[in-house]
Structure 1
Amino acid sequence: MQIQLLRSFVTLTLLFVASISSASPFGLSSVAAVVSTSAADSSSASSANPKTFVFSAIPDQDEANLQERFDKVAVYLQDQLGIEVRYIPVKSYSAAVTAFRNNQVQLAWFGGLSGVQARRLVPGSQAIAQGSEDPFFSSYIIAHSSTGIEPSDNLPAAIKGKTFTFGSKGSTSGRLMPEHFIRENLGDTPDQLFSKVGYSGDHSRTIALVQSGAYEVGAVNYKVWDKQLAAGEIDSNKVKVIWRTPSYPDYQWTVRGDVNDSWGPDFQARLTEALLGMDDPDLLASFPRSGFIAADNELYQPILDTAISVGIIDAGK
C-alpha cells in the first residue's frame, strides 16, 4: 500500500514538472533559472541599503531627455555621497511637488514656482543650489511667421487677439512670469487678451505648437529655445522670438529638511557641496548651466509674491 502511494506521488510530481516544462517556451532549465534568479534578487534586496536617496525634477522637456540627463546626475551624486541614489521621473509639475511633499523624493530640481509650492508644503525644506544663470532667468515670447509680428524691445501689442499657449500651468518660465509681464504690459488677463489660451505641458511642446501654427503666439523658457535652436530643431522661417521678458530667479535644487535624520547630521551640507562642485562639462551641458551656485529660500520671495498677485498661490496658505 505504501509502495503504491509512493509510486503515485512520484508520478504526479513528474507530470507536474513536465507540464511546467512544456508550458514554458524556454523549457525546464528556464523555470529553474527564474527560481534561482528570484532567490538571488530576494537575497540582494534584503542586503541592500534600504535608505536609497531619491530625487526627481519638473518635466520641462520630453521624458527621454530628462531620463538620460538625470540618470547621469544620480551616478555623480552616488559617487560623491557614498550611498545609493536614484532618479525617478514624474509626469507633471504638480506630481513633482506631490512626490516631494509625500517624501517619495527627498531632493528635486524645481522651477521657481514649483519650488516655492513644495517648500510651503514641507516646512524646513531648503533651496540649496541654483544654476549660475538662474538668478537672471527670462522667458521668450515667440510667434508664428504668419502673424507678421516683428521682434521688439517692448512686448508687442499686436499679440492681442491671437491664440496663445503657455507651457505647464505650474511653470515659472512658461506660465507664471510671462503671464505677470503680459498683465503688466497689456493691462489685462490672458483670457481677456487672447482669442484662445492653451497650456502645452512643457517648453518643447510650446515651440512645436507655435512652429506648426497650432497656436500663433507662445511663452517659452529661453534656455530650452536657445538649446533647440543651436541643435537645428527650430525652423526660423516659421517661428521666431519677438520679445524677451525682464529677468527673475528660477530653477533650484530643493531638499527636504529632514534628510539629516536619515543620512547623518552632515548629509545636507555634503549634498550641497556635491551639487555646488558639479563641474563635469557633460553634466552641466545637460541642464544646460555653466555651473551651480549657493541658493536660499529668501531668493525666491519675488516668485511667491508674483504667484500670489496672479492668483496661483493663496496668500493665506
Structure 2
Amino acid sequence: MRSLLRALGTSVVLVAAPLFVSCSAESHGTEAAVLKFTAIPDQNATELKQRFDTVAAHLTEELGIQVEFVPVADYTASVEAFTNGQVHLAWFGGLTGVRARLAVDGARAIAQGTIDPRYKSYFIANPDSGLEPGGSGPFPMELAGKSFTFGSDSSTSGRLMPEFFIREATKQSPEDFFGSPNRYSGSHDKTWEAVQNGSVDAGALSYTTYDKRLAEGAIDPARCFIVWQTPDYPDYSWNAHPAIDEIFGAGTIDRLQAVLVSIDDPELLSALDRPEGLTTARNEDFAPLVGLAEQLELLR
C-alpha cells in the first residue's frame, strides 16, 4: 500500500482549479478585522464548538488578531465556506483539504497533527453481524453482503480510504461487495452509533474517534468491535486561505503556522484533538490522496 501511495504521489498532475474568489479587505468590509476558521463536522457539533472556541481565544491572543470559530453543517459546506472566502482557515480531512486547495489558488496546508501522516481507519461490526474481532491482518472478506455504512461521503477516513481498501481487496465496488447502494451516516460518531445500536452490521470510521469514545465509555466493545485496521495513509490538516496575507498583512500565514505548531499546552492540544502535538504540513504531503480521489472519481 505504501509503495502504491508513493507511486501515485509522484505521478499525479493536479487538475485546473476553479476561479479563486477574492477575499480582500474591501470585499469584507467590517468583517475584515476577524480571522474566521471552521472545521469539518466529523464529530459532535456542540463539542466541536466548545473545543474550537478555546482555540480561537488562543490564536487571538498570540496573533493580535480577532479570531472566531464558525461552525458548518457538513463537509461540503466547509469547503464552500473556504472557497468563497467566508472563512480563512479550516481543519479539513485529507479529501476535503484536497478539494478546497484545488478550488482556491494559493491555498496552503500549513499544519497537522503528528499522527496525521500515518493515519488509519477501523472497520467495525456488532456481534449480530456474525463477524469476529480482528486486527491488521487480511481484509475480512466475511463482510460480503453485510449492511455497511461509511461516514460522510467526503470523509477520507470514513469513505475515501475504506472504499479504496475494499476495492483493492475484493476487486469489486462497495455496492457490489455489500450488495446494496452506499450508505453514509454523516460522521464518525454516527457510524459507531449505527453499528452499536444494530442499525447496520458494520461500518468504517476514523481510528481516533473510536479510540476516544471507547476510552470515554460511550462505545461498548461487546456491541461495537474492530474487525479490521487499515494500513497507514495521510489525512487531516489545517489549511490557510491566501487572503489571510492580503487582509491581515504579508507573513500572517507563516505566523499562524508558527503559532499552531508551537502549541504545547495539554488543554489546547486536547481541544485540537491532537494531544500528541502539531507539526508543519505541505500541499505535497497529500498528493497520494489526489491520485486516489481521481481514480475513484471523488474530485467533484
Q: Smaller-chain TM-score range? A: 0.7 to 0.9
- Which deviations, in whole Å up to 9, do the C-alpha atoms of 1:106-125 show, x marking residues without a partner? 00000000000000000000
Aligned equivalents of 1:91 and 1:260: distance in 2? 27
In the aligned structure 1, how far is the partner of 2:128 from the partner of 2:179? 16
Match of 1:241 among 226, 229, 246: 226
Mean Cα displacement is larger for which, 162-171 or 143-152?
A: 143-152
Mapped to 1, the partners of 2:290 and 2:106 lie a distance apart of 17
- 1:164 aligns with 148
Q: Does 1:111 align with 2:111?
A: no
SS of the residue corresponding to residue 33 of structure 2 reads coil
Q: CA deviation at 1:49?
A: 7.6
Give the drift of 1:258: 2.4
1:149 pairs with 2:128: no
Confirm or deny: 8 A CA contact 2:32 2:247 kept in the other structure: no
Amino acid at match of 1:66: L
Question: Is 1:306 aligned to residue 288 of structure 2?
Answer: no
State the Cα RMSD in Å. 1.2
Task: Find 2:168's aligned residue among 162, 181, 184.
Answer: 184
Matches within 5 A, 1:57-68: 57-68=39-50
Q: Which has the higher contact order (CA 8 A, sep 6+)?
A: 2
- DSSP 3-state at the match of 1:108: strand
Mapped to 2, the partners of 1:246 and 1:309 lie a distance apart of 19
Q: Could you tell me how far 1:286 is from its partner in structure 2?
A: 2.9
User: Which segment drifts farther, 156-165 or 256-265?
Assistant: 256-265
- Corresponding position of 1:44: none
Q: Are residues 49 and 171 of structure 1, via their aligned partners in 2, closer, same or farther at CA, if it must alter by over 3 Å?
A: closer
SS at match of 1:279: coil
Identity within the alignment, %: 44
1:276 maps onto 2:261 in alignment: yes
- Equivalent residue, structure 1, for 2:241: 256
C-alpha deviation, 1:195, in angstroms: 3.3
CA–CA distance in structure 2, aligned partners of residues 140 and 303 of structure 1: 18
Corresponding residue for 1:80? 62
Between the aligned partners of 1:268 and 1:91, the Cα distance in structure 2 is: 26
SS at 2:221's partner residue? coil
1:103 is aligned with what amino acid? Answer: G
Q: How many angstroms apart in 2 are the aligned matches of 1:58 and 1:119?
A: 15
User: For the Cα contact (< 8 Å) 1:111–1:251, is it kept in 2?
Assistant: yes
**Partner SS state of residue 183, structure 2:** strand
For 1:307, give the aligned amino acid: A
Partner of 2:7: none
Counterpart amino acid of 1:122?
Answer: V
Local SS of the residue matching 1:198? coil
Counterpart of 2:194 in structure 1 is: 209
Q: Secondary structure at the match of 1:169?
A: coil
Work out whether residues 49 and 84 of structure 1, in 8 Å CA contact, stay in contact via their aligned partners in 2: no
Counterpart amino acid of residue 97 in structure 1:
V
Aligned to 2:216: 231
Q: Cα 1:76–1:91, aligned 2, differ >3 Å: closer, same or farther?
A: same
Task: List structure 1 runs of 4+ shifted beyond 4 angstroms.
Answer: none
Shift of 1:147: 1.7
Residue by residue over 1:123-163, the C-alpha shift from the partner in whole angstroms, topping out at 9 and shown as x without a partner, is: 00000001000000000000111122121411110000000
**Number of residue pairs the alignment of both structures matches:** 267
